[in-house]
Structure 1
């Protein structure tokens, strides 16, 4: 029982980080109907930026998030404007897979040249600190990462539901043609949406670098998890991404703690297949165009 509860605690705390990564992925799909295969690479790029700021300037990874998020927002908007906007609308969904995968390989190549393929990690003074609560270990870094992810997801929710930009995004998701007739620049909204997805990747990357060792190729495993989360929760649903991250993270952590770490890697794929057999559109997905 102790191992089960400890696994649940670990899974819930880690789920916040994965939810933050996946929220950017599902936001991009909701706005553009683009499955962004570069999201994992953007997370790893965010981790490297936070690592370099910490090593060179001594900036704490949590304090580096505003810096890296702004930089990655610009990068994400540039990727959409330069590589995705020119695609023909009727072929965009299919061609975007190739384009975003090419972007992921480009980012991996740049990271390999700049930092080589050696594994890195952000080792702060508090990296190994933990609290013991009723006999259960709570790692300080994971707790702060969880709280940060909740705050970032809350800000994202407010942005999408309480601002003019959010209304433009939701209008574009619901009916892009009608949004265009109302004067909404869908290309501009798409660029901002992709930039916002990249900014969430930067925030998650700073935390990821604190929790795990990484190198330029770490995005391959990461993108498989993120795709599983967004498909499980329902493509285009941020609430689904949060729930999907919770299911994936807690199930893997519980299996690792109670049975074997060797089985934890395939757990979420089994859950994904089981849920999709019953509900092919995912938990919160819709057969029609959604509203985030």
Structure 2
């Protein structure tokens, strides 16, 4: 198969997984006007939860989501209640970075004490088996991950645009004060938004752990990639997260396959810089008036 086509296929398949993880991050920013630095470690925590269920309870990766999604949603609700809602309007972004960074350090420390720094991986049968398409072997988990990620993003879109909660979420993203004046409980909506944003890491974590080995320290690299995706696509735009992830992963996989993995991050960040110079709000971003 043509190397360019191989890179495109791999980029689209992995891009969907990253799009899902980034969608949770950008949803939190859009509603709460804050940057969740802990999103990367939440993804890794989702990987470890899937590992625990697989090794100690004999529960498969996909059935395990019935447990991990509510667990991560509950964690998100707790973190928002215990830490995030204490942040005032003044220096909100800076304080949110500091607080969620502290949360990241705490979760990472617990994982390091429990599992150490050795690499872990998920080992279901569909992680090691592949489909053959025109002579190119594609791991089954990539295909299943693509389908699940697309389905999850569609569900997220349905929540945002087809439900009363979604209307409240989008109203809060546009203007929190105006939303409160028309009867939206912004505090409750913010809590639910943070919970949903963290809940998607259960799916992303399971898929990420099935695609590549991970340690508690993997969260650092992951959050830098997710932030790059949402900045490229446009902060606060779920569609932008999808577009940014596809651009990033297609560039990385095509360049890695056709030329060299060394050039992949260089070219991607060059594209990111050019996009931000031309459109500082990102590909799908827009200027918004916010009031807390």
What range describes the TM-score normalised by the shorter chain of this pair?
Answer: over 0.9
Cα distance in 2, alignment partners of residues 117 and 265 from structure 1: 25
Q: In the alignment, what sits opposite 1:199?
A: 199
> How many residues are aligned here?
290
Equivalent position SS for 1:62: coil
- How much does 1:179 deviate? 1.6
* Correspondence 1:61 to 2:61: yes
Q: In the alignment, what sits opposite 1:96?
A: 96
Tell me if structure 2 keeps the 8 A contact 1:9–1:138.
no
- How much does 1:289 deviate? 4.1
Cα distance in 1, alignment partners of residues 118 and 130 from structure 2: 28
* Correspondence 1:278 to 2:278: yes
Tell me if structure 1 keeps the 8 A contact 2:77–2:191.
yes
Tell me if structure 2 keeps the 8 A contact 1:6–1:137.
no
Cα distance in 2, alignment partners of residues 184 and 116 from structure 1: 45
Q: In the alignment, what sits opposite 1:17?
A: 17
Equivalent position SS for 2:127: coil
Q: In the alignment, what sits opposite 2:179?
A: 179
Cα distance in 2, alignment partners of residues 139 and 174 from structure 1: 41
- How much does 1:91 deviate? 2.3
TM-score by length of 1: 0.96
Q: In the alignment, what sits opposite 1:3?
A: 3
Q: In the alignment, what sits opposite 1:108?
A: 108
Cα distance in 1, alignment partners of residues 289 and 64 from structure 2: 36
Cα distance in 1, alignment partners of residues 181 and 231 from structure 2: 31
Tell me if structure 2 keeps the 8 A contact 1:251–1:267.
yes
Q: In the alignment, what sits opposite 1:227?
A: 227
TM-score by length of 2: 0.96
**How well do the aligned residues superpose, as a CA RMSD in angstroms?**
1.2
- How much does 1:93 deviate? 1.7
Tell me if structure 1 keeps the 8 A contact 2:37–2:104.
yes
Cα distance in 2, alignment partners of residues 249 and 129 from structure 1: 22
Q: In the alignment, what sits opposite 2:118?
A: 118
- How much does 1:185 deviate? 1.6
Q: In the alignment, what sits opposite 1:218?
A: 218
Cα distance in 1, alignment partners of residues 117 and 179 from structure 2: 45
Change (3 A) 1:18 1:280: same
Q: Deviations over 1:171-217 (max 9, x none)?
A: 11122112212222211111100000000111100111100100000
Tell me if structure 1 keeps the 8 A contact 2:126–2:139.
no
Q: In the alignment, what sits opposite 2:164?
A: 164
Task: Report runs of 4+ in structure 1 exceeding 6 Å deviation.
Answer: none
- How much does 1:287 deviate? 1.7
Change (3 A) 1:99 1:15: same
Gap runs ≥5 in structure 2: none
Q: In the alignment, what sits opposite 1:87?
A: 87
Change (3 A) 1:239 1:289: farther
Tell me if structure 2 keeps the 8 A contact 1:70–1:199.
yes
Q: Deviations over 1:90-120 (max 9, x none)?
A: 2222210111111111110011111111110
Q: In the alignment, what sits opposite 1:251?
A: 251
Q: In the alignment, what sits opposite 1:142?
A: 142
